[in-house]
């Protein structure tokens, strides 16, 4: 009874076979079929390699939502060198809430040499080249996001020891925590002092001829410090052509959550527009000489996530490549063979033409071809 059930089950399974086996004696091979098979296998191999490279690659997914975090503080990371001595300049932040954050809360004033060494100039040149490429090809930002990790550093390399050069500039570096509202970070003449109506700078004791706000921005970023990410103002250098010159940077900051396979960080992207002008009250150009960075925060938050093709999708695409090439090459081979057969048949039919009959003396004709033909001249 069990054997009978097994036989019925096997016969039922055999009837459901979608891949019938043809005996080898019924299979006929041909040179054209072999050529098509070689082309198909080569194409499958190339497409499989390309598909595997796509599977290994990743891409960045951007999602946007309203930023609901207004209570936390915003971190500003600063590394700026000004072509004036440290005792003559002061830096601080004043926001729209009339809250002043003095530079003593996190910034360090360090005497430095403004002119770069050959190694530092090469670093700055390469950084400016990257910045120009980023402005032309925005997709390169994805490459920077994917390659970012906290242990890397894009900071200016240290200067080689040279005792012949005395410090003629001031490097202001460190970080400040400010409110998440629009504000103004500025570097101008004199140290900042609190004032009932805001704040002021003690600039009266500084000689006007010593004003020089030529500066170099080695690094400026917002949020968590991720050194491997290149920001829009990194490597910027401005040379003042007048003592009374104002440099303005208008910055729009976008909160960004970055999640890649190498790093997860709460950072900020920003865009910037620049303006510079000479202060001349007689000509109607009013203001204060210095470096002013006016920033404003966007209400949107961007979540940047690195994604990877799932294995099941890669497997489905691979099966589609193999099956599609087999089907396509089989159809093309069949069509080609059919066309060749039609052309060959027409050629054969055209070769059989009627032969002119040979008359006899008695009036009969011979429709057979002569075995020998005598050529008489």
User: From CA 42, how far away is CA 47, in angstroms rounded?
Assistant: 9
What pLDDT digit, counting tens, does each position of 166-199 carry?
888 999 999 999 988 899 999 988 777 766 666 7
pLDDT tens digits, 14-43: 776 656 666 666 566 667 677 777 888 888
Q: What is the reported pTM?
A: 0.70
β-pair partners for 268 = 255
Contact present, 189 and 289 (Cβ < 8 Å): yes
CB 169 within 8 A of CB 112: yes
CA distance 309 to 163: 56
| Residue 290 backbone class (left: φ over 0; alpha: ψ -120 to 50; beta: rest) | left
**pLDDT range class, residue 251, cuts 50, 70, 90:** very high
Report the alpha-carbon distance of residue 174 to residue 176 in Å, rounded: 7
pLDDT digits (tens, 9 = 90+) for 350-365: 555 555 555 555 555 5
HSE-CB for 170 with a 13 A CA cutoff? 20
Q: What is the pLDDT of residues 308-331, one digit of tens each?
A: 888 888 888 888 888 888 788 878
Please check whether residue 82 is in contact with residue 213, taking contact to mean a CB–CB distance below 8 angstroms: yes
Q: What percent of the chain has pLDDT over 70?
A: 79
Cβ atoms within 10 Å of 53's Cβ, excluding its own: 9
Contact predicate 62/303, CB 8 Å: yes
Among 100-104, 125-129, 359-363, the minimum mean pLDDT is found in 359-363
């Amino acid at each position: 009874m069990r054997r009978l059930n097994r036989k019925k089950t096997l016969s039922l399974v055999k009837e459901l076979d979608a891949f019938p086996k043809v005996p080898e004696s019924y299979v006929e091979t041909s040179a054209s079929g072999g050529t098509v098979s070689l082309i198909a296998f080569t194409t499958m191999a190339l497409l499989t390699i390309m598909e595997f490279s796509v599977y290994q690659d990743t891409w960045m997914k951007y999602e946007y939502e309203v930023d609901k975090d207004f209570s936390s503080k915003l971190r500003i990371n600063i590394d700026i060198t000004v072509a004036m001595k440290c005792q003559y300049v002061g830096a601080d932040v004043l926001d729209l809430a009339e809250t002043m954050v003095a530079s003593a809360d996190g910034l360090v004033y360090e005497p430095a040499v403004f002119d770069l060494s050959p190694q530092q100039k090469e670093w700055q040149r390469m950084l400016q080249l990257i910045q120009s490429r980023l402005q032309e090809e925005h997709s390169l930002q994805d490459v920077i996001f994917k390659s970012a990790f906290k242990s890397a550093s894009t900071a200016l390399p240290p200067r080689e020891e040279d005792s012949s050069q005395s410090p003629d500039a001031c490097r202001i570096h460190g970080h400040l925590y400010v409110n998440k509202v629009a504000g103004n970070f500025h570097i101008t003449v004199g140290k900042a002092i609190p004032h009932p109506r805001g704040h002021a700078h003690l600039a009266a004791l500084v000689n006007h001829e010593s004003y020089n706000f030529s500066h170099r921005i080695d690094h400026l970023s917002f949020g968590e410090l991720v050194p491997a990410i290149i920001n829009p103002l990194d490597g910027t250098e401005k040379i003042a052509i007048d003592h009374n010159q104002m440099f303005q940077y208008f910055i729009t900051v976008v909160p960004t959550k970055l999640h890649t396979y190498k790093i997860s960080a709460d950072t900020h992207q920003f865009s910037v527009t620049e303006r510079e002008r000479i202060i001349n009250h007689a000509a109607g150009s009013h203001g204060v000489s210095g470096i002013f960075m006016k920033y404003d925060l966007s209400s949107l938050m961007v979540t940047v996530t690195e994604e990877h093709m799932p294995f099941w999708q890669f497997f489905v695409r691979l099966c589609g490549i193999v099956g599609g090439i087999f089907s396509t090459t089989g159809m093309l081979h069949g069509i080609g063979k059919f066309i060749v057969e039609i052309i060959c048949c027409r050629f054969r039919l055209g070769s059989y033409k009627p032969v002119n009959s040979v008359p006899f003396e008695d009036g009969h004709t011979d429709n057979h071809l002569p075995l020998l033909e005598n050529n008489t001249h």
